[in-house]
Amino acid sequence: MSKEKKDKPQPAGDLDLTIYREETKEHPLLDDLSKLSPEDRRILLMTGVDPSGKERSGSFFQKDHSVIHCRTDFDGAEIMSTTTAREKYDGLTEYWGKLVPADKDVYTRRAEEHQEHGYYIRSLPGADVHYPLQACLYLTEDKLAQDVHNIVIAEEASNLNIITGCATAPGVRSGLHVGVSEFFVKKGATISFTMIHNWAEEMAVRPRSAVIVEEGGTFISNYICLVPAKDLQMYPAATLKGKGAVATFNSVLLAKPGSFMDVGSRIILQGEGCRGEVISRVVSTGGTVIARGHLVGEYPGIRAHLECKGLLLSDKGRIHAIPELEGTTSDLEMSHEAAVGKIAQEEVEYLMARGLSEQEATALIIKGFLSLDIVGLPADLKKELERMIEETDTEAM
Amino acid sequence: MLDEFQLAVKDLHVSIGKKEILKGVNLQIKKGEVHAIFGPNGSGKTTLLNALMGFEGYTVKGEIFFDGKDISHLPINERARLGIGISFQRPPVIRGVKLQRLIETSAKKNGNALEKYAKGLNLVDFLEREVNVGFSGGEIKRAELLQLILQDPDLVLLDEPESGVDLENIALIGEYTNYLLGKIREPNQDKTMKELHRERKKSGLIITHTGYILDYVDVDVGYILMQGQIACKANPRDMLHTIRECGFGECFRCFREEETSVKRKKG
Ligand SMILES: Nc1ncnc2c1ncn2[C@@H]1O[C@H](COP(=O)(O)OP(=O)(O)O)[C@@H](O)[C@H]1O
Ligand SMILES: [Mg+2]
């Protein structure tokens, strides 16, 4: 289809992949994440992953190409390497490559060729995985490529909370992370998926994600990236197939100088009474952000909204909001709202009149702007997110 | 002596772009005094307070002394830290920042003061809300007052604290303006009420278009600001009475006569 081509945000194969190493050694297993070094633990915490496993239903930890830790503390859920899951469940043929075909682009192709694990997460029918399962993909070697394939399944009427953190260890400057993720939200199920990126400055990152939501299902994605990323490009898509299916994508991005982030979310609404929402908050202190959003309404009566707000704090930065609405039937309720601007001087002065320095005032405004009030986020995660925004380095701004 | 004055403004000229808005304003507010400025819309009242606070966008000439110290070149936050506080006529909204957070960042008073005054001003539920987002006119003014009370400045600049406030809430605004000005003091074990009263040294400059606030707050001196100049300085009650009876037209007439008579004398 020619439409498909037009929708592709960037020509595939835009990165020089020859500079990354494909092979590395295996790491030994680790029975307890709290045995990680203090530095590693700190990075994990900043990525939403709690090494103590407290208030988590289970943990998965992949270091480079090795899954070194994996445990479940809740009977209603499974978490393991996708490689293990494929051995255990006949290749996961019902799911594998069904939403993100291997031949989609160069990155999905290389993920198919070079795949080293990734996580398989499944909530059993009717289970309430209240405390999130946490998965961490950790890169500890410079110039290494990490290609993972993740599968997430919420069986009928289950409730599944997930936190995934992707991070690089101290000392790593560059690397490649390619992650194919396929999400299946079955009838009446809910997935709340929070992904936090905490990369080294020179990382190239290519997530490739797709979601399918059946009747009465809900998919909530929260994506947070507050650290520089040299080259990040992703455009996850959720297809709402069943009656009353719902999807929400929230993104919070901070692009420091040298960052390039091309991030969007797409929702395709195909069933009666489906609803979708794409919300993003973007701050650039000198980096470039292309904030995309695409709503496709294919069923009469659906409702969807797209909102992108950008704050540009430097003349060297660039924020390009590209909201798209596409209807293929009449009787749709789709809207969008996009605004890109700088910090209002009036707001800074208001806070200064209360005694804050210009820098304190600016930092408070930025933090307020980023603190998107994410509905449906578990309370502890909300707190964690607030803490992360709080600890964001605004000195350089 | 300058420092018997909390605020002394000398020959203040303020321009926005090429347009001169204030044309030589002189003001002196003694410690413990409260002054009020009346004046028609557009006469430069807000401009005066904003220039005193040091906001951007104004070209300021002349002198501003706060407690004997020339502050005319200090940034806004340093003026605030020295003890000047302002209630905005129309404050901006600060998205994502909770009122409580802002107050805690800027407050000097601590302990249970926030809880107490928030309760008194019917703002307890607002502490968890984003600053000024979706606040009604009256809620904005009460929130401004709450912030200021906690900030506890020595000189309070109030820009139309009662505009947009319904009658019922004006009494509340009036009462808490008195807390802000230190005119109402809590009984204190160590000091008699008389001593407390003698101690109060907070000063205020209140802009009021309607004058309603004067029904609740005692004001020592009143001014009329017209076309960027102080046209009249008098007893605020008399002033308000005349304005209510005759409107600013009367002031304008008087102002013109003075101008022409000055010119006549000069000529
Ligand atoms: N930012 C601005 N740019 C141009 N003119 C302004 C600006 N702000 C105020 N003025 C003008 O300055 C004059 C005084 O305004 P203001 O101080 O707000 O009056 P008041 O508070 O007495 O109603 C008005 O004529 C107004 O239009
Ligand atoms: Mg005004």
Number of folded domains that form chain A:
3
Q: How many angstroms is it from A275 CA to the middle of ligand 2?
A: 45
Model confidence over B93-143: pLDDT tens digits? 999 999 999 999 888 777 788 999 999 999 999 999 999 999 999 999 999
User: Which residue puts its alpha carbon closest to atom 26 of ligand 1?
Assistant: B42
Residue A267's nearest CA partner among A315, A307, A224 is A307
A71 CB contacts (<8 Å, ≥6 apart)? A53, A58, A59, A79
**DSSP-H helix ranges across chain B:** 45-53, 76-82, 99-106, 113-120, 137-151, 167-180, 193-199, 236-246, 248-266
- Across the interface, do B96 and A349 touch by the CB < 8 Å criterion? no
For residues A250 and A310, state if they share a domain. Answer: yes
**Are A82 and A118 spatial neighbours (Cβ–Cβ below 8 Å)?**
yes
Q: Which of A227, A255, A274 is the last residue of a domain?
A: A227
For residues A162 and A250, state if they share a domain. Answer: no
Q: Is residue A241 part of a domain?
A: no
Burial class (CB within 10 angstroms; exposed 0-12, middle 13-18, buried 19+) of A123: buried
Q: How many angstroms is it from B21 CA to the middle of ligand 1?
A: 7
User: Which residue puts its alpha carbon closest to atom 17 of ligand 1?
Assistant: B44
Q: What is the CATH number of the domain that holds B77?
A: 3.40.50.300
Residue A53's nearest CA partner among A63, A62, A41, A65 is A41
A364 contacts in B (CB within 8 Å)?
Answer: 94, 97, 101-102, 105
- Across the interface, do A352 and B77 touch by the CB < 8 Å criterion? yes
Pocket test for ligand 1, best of B22, B45, B47 (most atoms within 8 A of CB): B47
Left if phi > 0, otherwise alpha if psi is -120 to 50, otherwise beta: which for B211? Answer: left
Interface of B with A (CB under 8 A): 53, 55-56, 75-77, 80-81, 85-86, 88, 91-92, 94-97, 101-102, 105-106, 130, 147, 151
Per the listing, tokens 């530095």 go with: A39
A157 CB contacts (<8 Å, ≥6 apart)? A125, A126, A187, A188, A189
- Across the interface, do B102 and A364 touch by the CB < 8 Å criterion? yes
Mutate which of B53, B81, B95 to disrupt the A interface (most A C-beta within 10 Å)?
Answer: B95
A88 CB contacts (<8 Å, ≥6 apart)? A80
Model confidence over A345-366: pLDDT tens digits? 999 999 999 999 999 999 899 9
For residues A215 and A280, state if they share a domain. Answer: no
For residues A388 and A328, state if they share a domain. Answer: no
Q: Can you tell me the mean pLDDT for A110-138?
A: 96
CA atoms of A124 and A111, how far apart (whole Å): 27
User: Which residue puts its alpha carbon closest to atom 5 of ligand 1?
Assistant: B16
Left if phi > 0, otherwise alpha if psi is -120 to 50, otherwise beta: which for B108? Answer: alpha
For residues A280 and A316, state if they share a domain. Answer: yes
Q: Which of A192, A227, A262 is the last residue of a domain?
A: A227
For residues A37 and A112, state if they share a domain. Answer: yes
Closest CA in chain B for residue A362: B94
- Across the interface, do A350 and B91 touch by the CB < 8 Å criterion? yes
Q: How many angstroms is it from B209 CA to the middle of ligand 1?
A: 15
Work out the minimum CA distance from A373 to partner chain B, whole angstroms.
Answer: 8
Q: Is residue A196 part of a domain?
A: yes
**DSSP-H helix ranges across chain A:** 2-7, 38-46, 82-88, 106-114, 345-352, 358-370, 379-391
- For residue B108, give its domain range: 2-266
Q: How far is CA B14 from the centre of its chain?
A: 18
Mutate which of B90, B97, B114 to disrupt the A interface (most A C-beta within 10 Å)?
Answer: B97
For residues A147 and A187, state if they share a domain. Answer: yes
Q: How many CB pairs under 8 A join A and B?
A: 68
For residues A96 and A163, state if they share a domain. Answer: yes
**Are B28 and B53 spatial neighbours (Cβ–Cβ below 8 Å)?**
no
pLDDT at A379 over 80: no
What single letter denotes the amino acid at residue A217? G
Q: Is residue A234 part of a domain?
A: no
**What secondary structure, in 3-state letters, does A199-247 show?**
CCCEEEEEEEEEEEECCCCEEEEEEEECCCCCEEEECCEEEECCCCCEE
Q: What pLDDT sits at residue A5? A: 42
**A94 φ, ψ to 5°?**
-65, -25
Q: Which residues line ligand 1 (CB under 6 A)?
A: B 16, 21, 39, 41-47, 57
Q: Give, in order, the Cα–Cα distances in Å from A223 to each of A281, A372, B105.
A: 10, 11, 29
Q: What pLDDT sits at residue A386? A: 77
Q: Can you tell me the mean pLDDT for A262-269?
A: 98
Q: Give, in order, the Cα–Cα distances in Å from A384 to each of A194, A300, A378, B141.
A: 11, 39, 10, 33
Is B205 in a helix, a strand, or coil? strand
pLDDT at A378 over 90: no
Q: Which of A175, A200, A227 is the last residue of a domain?
A: A227
List per-residue pLDDT tens for chain B, 267 residues long: 447 899 999 999 999 999 999 999 999 999 999 999 999 999 999 999 999 999 999 999 999 999 999 999 999 999 999 999 999 999 999 999 999 999 998 887 777 889 999 999 999 999 999 999 999 999 999 999 999 999 999 999 999 999 889 888 999 999 999 999 988 766 666 666 666 665 667 999 999 988 889 999 999 999 999 999 998 898 999 888 888 888 887 777 777 776 666 555 544
Ranking A92-101, A247-256, A382-391, B113-122 by mean pLDDT, the lowest is A382-391
For residues A281 and A299, state if they share a domain. Answer: yes
Residue A82's nearest CA partner among A55, A111, A109 is A111
- Across the interface, do A351 and B81 touch by the CB < 8 Å criterion? no
- Across the interface, do B102 and A371 touch by the CB < 8 Å criterion? no
For residues A336 and A349, state if they share a domain. Answer: no
Number of folded domains that form chain B:
1
**Are A56 and A131 spatial neighbours (Cβ–Cβ below 8 Å)?**
yes
- ipTM of predicted assembly, 2 dp: 0.92
Q: Which of A353, A357, A372 sits opposite B53 (nearest CB)?
A: A353
Q: Which of A355, A357, A369 sits opposite B95 (nearest CB)?
A: A369
Neighbours of B188 (CB within 10 A): 10
Q: How many angstroms is it from B41 CA to the middle of ligand 2?
A: 7
Structure tokens at B118: 């928030």
Q: Can you tell me the mean pLDDT for A270-284?
A: 96
* Per-residue confidence band for A197, with pLDDT thresholds at 50, 70 and 90: very high
Q: What pLDDT sits at residue A2? A: 42
User: Which residue puts its alpha carbon closest to atom 4 of ligand 1?
Assistant: B16
Secondary structure letter of residue B174 according to DSSP: H
A373 contacts in B (CB within 8 Å)?
Answer: 96
For residues A209 and A261, state if they share a domain. Answer: no
CA atoms of A87 and B36, how far apart (whole Å): 82
CA atoms of A296 and A294, how far apart (whole Å): 6
**A369-378 burial code (b ≥16 CB/10 A, e <16):** bbbbebeebb
Structure tokens at B173: 């605004």
Pocket test for ligand 1, best of B43, B60, B226 (most atoms within 8 A of CB): B43
- Across the interface, do A350 and B88 touch by the CB < 8 Å criterion? yes
- For residue A172, give its domain range: 19-227
Model confidence over A53-112: pLDDT tens digits? 988 999 999 999 999 999 999 999 999 999 999 999 999 999 999 999 999 999 999 999
Burial class (CB within 10 angstroms; exposed 0-12, middle 13-18, buried 19+) of A240: buried
Model confidence over A138-157: pLDDT tens digits? 999 999 999 999 999 999 99
Q: What pLDDT sits at residue B200? A: 62
Between residues B108 and A393, which one has the greater pLDDT? B108
CA atoms of A154 and A158, how far apart (whole Å): 6
Q: Alpha-carbon Rg of chain A, whole angstroms? A: 20
pLDDT at A10 over 70: no
Q: What pLDDT sits at residue A186? A: 98
Q: What pLDDT sits at residue A3? A: 42
Q: What pLDDT sits at residue A103? A: 94
**What predicted TM-score, i.e. pTM, was given to this entire model?**
0.84
Model confidence over A156-168: pLDDT tens digits? 999 999 999 999 9
B151 contacts in A (CB within 8 Å)?
Answer: 354-355
Residue A159's nearest CA partner among A120, A116, A117, A127 is A127
Structure tokens at B12: 């203040």
Is A11 in a helix, a strand, or coil? coil
Total residues belonging to chain B = 267
Structure tokens at B136: 């009604």
Q: How far is CA A290 from the centre of its chain?
A: 16
For residues A189 and A314, state if they share a domain. Answer: no
Q: What pLDDT sits at residue A11? A: 46
A353 contacts in B (CB within 8 Å)?
Answer: 53, 55, 76-77, 80, 85-86, 88
Q: What pLDDT sits at residue A228? A: 83
Q: How many angstroms is it from B58 CA to the middle of ligand 2?
A: 15
Q: Which of B55, B77, B130 sits opposite A355 (nearest CB)?
A: B77
